[in-house]
Amino acid sequence: MIVKTANLNLYYGSFHALKDIDLSIKENLITGIIGPSGCGKSTLLRVFNRMNDLIRGVRVTGAVLIDREDIHSPICDLILLRKTVGMVFQRPNAFPLSIFDNIAYGPRVWGITDKKTLRDIVERSLAAVDLFDVLKGRLKESALSLSAEKQQRLCIARLLAVEPEILLMDEPCSALDPIATGKIEELMLELKRKYTIIIVTHNMQQAARIADEVGFMLLGELIEFDSAKKIFTNPSDKRTFDYISGRFG
Amino acid sequence: MTFRIGPRTSQIIAHIILLLMTIVTVIVLFFIIGYVFKNGFAQLSLEFLTDRTREMGKEGGILPSIIGTLFITVLAIIIATPLGVGSAVYLVEYTRGGLLRKIISFGADCLAGVPSIIFGLFGFIFFVIQLKLGWSILSGSLTLAVMIIPTIIRTSEEAIKAVPQSYREISYSLGGGKLDTILKVVLPTSLPGILTGVILGIGRAIGETAAVIFTAGSSLGMPTSVFSSTRTLAVHFYILAREGISMPKAYGTATVLIIIILFVNLVAYRLMHRFMAKYY
């Protein structure tokens, strides 16, 4: 599914957090958004599933099109939008429920009550994140007993269970050690065959390893958006070059 | 040269003072309970627990009061819990911390501190006389419910506020609506805290005298419906002691009341632990 923004501006009260963002994200690619802390990259990500609606005093202008539909138009079904555009958060935040109930949460919200169907969904979702073989006999255990990496995988499985088409990932590896990070990255490369992935990351190496296209943001502006290769080897903007070569940020 | 206490010594002194304070508190507590038990335990017998009250309490047992107490308390909790928890959910999830929430929270805090006799007077005028419910279990329960709702609102409010915002965000991000989020995420997660409020409410209601003596009356008959007048254990104990009817029976009644309260608390904490141990 294609994601497009045109003239996107976002204000927190009087603070201008996103300035004239124009970008176009292609299907079945991993798009990385990089930039220093506070540059607005997480805010941008949270525009795509309208998570910013939960914050008071947020105002958005301009257009955000997902699958050619304006997500801020009054006829847009917010709940359907959030089902289509799933999100993985920074911290692995499983609910204090069993592994099974965590993954079944979304489908249950969507009205699936049949036990067999639910079990199929849970098994399929766990298999998609390579957790099924590990957790097969332990679905009734608390999800909070899992390691951080497994919890993050579980959170991704929980998301896949509602059959989204776009995955937003907000620094999904920042709470993980390098080995776990590597495993989640492998998973993302697998998932990109079926899903469109937008990942916000602090970690430039990570963006270089997995992203196909990269956007660099600074102080609320999208400075440069291009193929990862171009951004990391031959950026057109001096600020991008300074950032990726570690001069600031 | 002035005399100084070194940091090590002051640490030790502080430790001793705090320990002494704890010891004093615990001794006072155990002394009271021990004293009541010492005087009341001898009274406990099958007859005392299962017989009707005779000769104004000088003879017989306290079964009508045990039943009346449980009846009033359970009914009060059944009325107060949904109202209190519902208000708390509304305040936290729907008012977004605005002025309304501050006013209601402040009001609930004030109400929680109002002496229970005021509630008794209100219950007497409003439920007993105005609504013509008479001295009855229903009037008593309604009055107790009004009295404990503020406690339940405030503890539930704190418990619901303590639910991490990220849980709500995940729920929304999976396509959950507000109601799904409240019913399936917020309430289950805050249940231990809500239960604490309910337990506090039970504790206040079960031992209450002033609020029920005006509203449930002090009839010694066996309660048969919510419209029966009844004399709760605490009121019975109060009347036995005040009118000098029988001090031994008064202590016996107090002992039963304390045992019931201990029992209710134990069960409630067991329930809470079982719930929390499940997933935390």
DSSP string, B110-138: HHHTS-HHHHHHHHIIIIIIIT---SSHH
Q: Domain-by-domain residue ranges, chain B?
A: 9-43, 47-279
In a domain, A126, yes or no: no
Q: What is the CATH number of domain B47-279?
A: 1.10.3720.10
SS3 content of chain A, % helix, strand, coil (to 5): 40, 25, 35
**d(CA A200, nearest CA chain B) in Å:** 17
Question: Which residues have C-beta within 8 Å of that of residue A215, sequence separation ≥ 6?
Answer: A23, A31, A32, A33, A34, A222, A224, A225
| Ramachandran angles phi, psi of B36, nearest 5° | -65, -45
A136-141: long-range contacts (C-beta < 8 A, 24 or more apart)?
Answer: A138/A99, A139/A98, A139/A99, A139/A100, A140/A98, A140/A99, A140/A100, A141/A98, A141/A99
Which residues does residue B59 pair with via DSSP β-bridges, in sequence order? B54
CA atoms lying within 13 Å on the CB side of residue A14: 0
CB A214 within 8 A of CB A225: yes
Helix or strand or coil: residue A28?
coil
Question: Inter-chain contact A95–B167, Cβ cutoff 8 Å?
Answer: yes
Residue A173 lies in a domain: yes
- The whole-angstrom distance between residue A58's C-alpha and the CA centroid of its chain comes to 20
Q: Report if residue A201 sits inside a domain.
A: yes
Note the pLDDT of residue B1: 58
Task: Report the pLDDT value the prediction gives residue A97, as an integer from 0 to 100.
Answer: 87
Residues of A in contact with B169 (CB under 8 A): 51, 54, 87, 89
Q: Mean per-residue pLDDT for A153-178?
A: 90
Residue A156 lies in a domain: no
| Residues of chain A with a CB closer than 8 angstroms to some CB in chain B | 49, 51, 54, 56, 79-80, 82-83, 86-87, 89, 91, 93, 95-98, 105-106, 108-110, 142-144, 155, 158-159, 162
Q: Does A67 score more than 80 pLDDT? A: yes
Angle A41-A42-A47 from CA coordinates, rounded to 5°: 100
| Chain A residues lying within 8 Å of B184, measured CB to CB | 105, 108-109
Instruction: Say if residues A85 and A48 touch (Cβ distance below 8 Å).
Output: yes
Measured CA to CA, the distance from residue A8 to residue A19 in angstroms comes to 7
Tell me the backbone φ, ψ of residue A137, rounded to 5 degrees: -90, 5
Amino acid B95: pLDDT? 85
Q: List the single residue in A with minimal CA-CA distance to B96.
A: A56
B173 touches chain A (CB under 8 A): yes
Q: What is the CATH number of the domain that holds A218?
A: 3.40.50.300
The answer to whether B190 and B163 are in contact (CB under 8 A) is yes
Angle at which helix A148-160 crosses helix A99-109, to 10 degrees, equals: 20
Distance in Å, alpha carbon of A112 to nearest chain B alpha carbon: 13
Residues of A in contact with B189 (CB under 8 A): 95-96
pLDDT recorded at residue A84: 92
User: Is the model's pLDDT at A247 over the cut of 80?
Assistant: no
Token digits for B72? 């009033």
Q: Which two tokens stand for residue B243?
A: 């009118």
CA distance linking residue B116 with residue B147, whole number of Å: 7
Q: Give residue-wise pLDDT tens across range B150-178.
A: 999 999 999 999 998 889 999 999 988 89
Average pLDDT, chain A: 90
> Strand ranges (DSSP E) for chain B?
53-54, 59-60
Q: Which residues of A touch B168 (CB under 8 A)?
A: 54
On the question of pLDDT at A47 being above 80, the answer is: yes
SS3 labels along B222-256: CCCCCCCCCCCHHHHHHHHHHCCCCHHHHHHHHHH
For the record, the structure tokens of A195 come out as 């899903």
Decide if B175 and A80 are in contact by the 8 Å CB cutoff: yes
Contact A87 B173 (CB under 8 A): yes
Is the ipTM reported for this complex over the cut 0.95?
no
- Judged by DSSP in three states, A150 sits in helix
How many separate domains does chain A show? Answer: 1
In chain A, which residues have their Cβ closer than 8 Å to the Cβ of B172? 51, 54, 82
- pLDDT score for B271: 81
Q: A53, A55, A79: best mutation site toward chain B, by most B Cβ within 10 Å?
A: A79
**A-chain residues near B180 (CB < 8 A):** 109
Interface test with A, best of B170, B182, B191 (most A CBs within 10 A): B170
Beta carbons of A91 and B166 less than 8 Å apart: yes
Distance of residue B162 Cα from the nearest chain A Cα, in angstroms: 14
Backbone angles phi, psi at B4, to 5 degrees: -125, 145
In a domain, A108, yes or no: no
- Per-residue pLDDT band for A249 (boundaries 50, 70, 90) equals low
Q: Which domain holds residue A33?
A: 3-93+164-244
| pLDDT 10s digits, B191-201 | 888 988 898 89
Using a CB-CB cut-off of 8 Å, the residues of chain A touching B174 are 82-83, 86, 105-106, 109, 158-159, 162
Per CB-CB distance under 8 Å, the chain B contacts of A54 are 168-169, 172
Whether residue A143 is contained in a domain is answered as: no
Handedness of CA A187, A193, A195, A201 (dihedral sign): positive
Interchain proximity B175–A95, CB inside 8 Å: no
Query: Is A68 contained in some domain?
Result: yes
Q: How many CA atoms lie within 13 A of A211 on its CB side?
A: 29
Helix A115-128 with A148-160: angle, nearest 10 deg: 130
A210, amino acid identity? I
The alpha-carbon gap from B86 to the nearest alpha carbon of chain A, in Å, equals: 21
Q: What's the pLDDT at B278? A: 58
- Say if residue A33's pLDDT is above 80: yes
Q: DSSP letters along B144-162, please? A: HHHHHHHHHHHHHHHHHHT
pLDDT band of A10, cuts 50, 70, 90: very high
User: How far apart are alpha carbons A120 and A29 in whole angstroms?
Assistant: 28
Query: For residues A172 and B95, what is the distance between their CA atoms, to the nearest angstrom?
Result: 32
- Helices B247-279 and B187-206 cross at an angle (nearest 10°) of 180
Residues near B270 by Cβ (< 8 Å), separated by ≥ 6? none
pLDDT digits (tens), chain B, 280 positions: 567 778 888 899 999 999 999 999 999 999 999 999 999 988 888 888 888 888 887 888 899 999 999 999 999 999 999 999 999 999 999 887 778 888 888 998 998 889 999 999 999 999 999 999 999 999 999 999 999 999 999 999 999 999 988 899 999 999 888 998 999 889 988 988 898 889 889 988 998 999 999 999 888 888 888 899 999 999 999 999 998 888 989 999 999 999 999 998 888 888 878 777 655 5
Q: What is the pLDDT of residue B279?
A: 56
Comparing CA positions, the residue from A125, A190, A133 lying closest to residue A162 is A125
Q: Are A157 and A106 in contact (CB under 8 A)?
A: no
Whether residue A109 and residue B171 make contact (CB cut-off 8 A), yes or no, is: yes
Separation between Cα atoms, residue B180 and residue A248, nearest integer Å:
44
**Domain assignment of residue A192, yes or no:** yes
Local structure of residue A142 (DSSP, 8 states): B
